[in-house]
C-alpha cells in the first residue's frame, strides 16, 4: 500500500497491517508515529500500522492481541 493512502506524506510503498481496535483508543493512537486510520476499513474501529516503521514492538504485540480478542472468537 502506498503511504499517501494511509495518511502518510509519501508516495512510497509501505507494509501495513490493519488491526481492529477499541474505538475510544483510536484518536490517541493515530497521533503516534506509524499508526494511521485504516485504509479501506471502518476508521471508527480499525487502525493501520506501518509494520516496518513502527518501533514499539511491545505495543504492537498488545495491539495485535487486542485485535484478535475483538475479532478472533467470532
Phi, psi angles (nearest 5°) of residue 6: -110, 10
Residue 24's domain is classified under what CATH number? 3.90.1150.30
> Is the entire prediction scored with pTM above 0.95?
no
pLDDT reported for residue 41: 81
Name the DSSP class of 12: S
Q: Residue 73: its pLDDT value, please?
A: 65
Antiparallel, parallel or unpaired: β 46-50 and 16-20? antiparallel
Q: For residue range 1-49, list pLDDT tens digits in order.
A: 544 455 556 667 778 899 999 999 999 998 878 898 887 788 889 999 9
Number of domains in the chain: 1
Q: Which residue segment(s) compose the domain that 18 sits in?
A: 3-71
Using one digit for the tens of pLDDT, what is the confidence trace for 54-73? Answer: 889 999 999 999 999 999 76
- Per the listing, cell 483510536 goes with 26
Query: What pLDDT score was predicted for residue 10?
Result: 62
Amino acid at each position: 500500500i502506498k503511504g499517501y493512502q494511509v495518511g502518510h506524506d509519501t508516495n512510497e510503498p509501505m507494509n501495513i497491517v490493519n488491526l481492529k481496535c477499541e474505538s475510544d483508543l483510536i484518536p490517541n493512537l493515530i497521533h503516534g508515529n506509524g499508526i494511521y486510520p485504516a485504509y479501506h476499513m471502518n476508521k471508527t474501529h480499525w487502525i493501520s500500522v506501518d509494520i516496518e516503521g513502527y518501533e514499539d514492538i511491545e505495543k504492537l504485540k498488545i495491539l495485535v492481541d487486542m485485535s484478535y480478542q475483538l475479532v478472533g472468537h467470532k
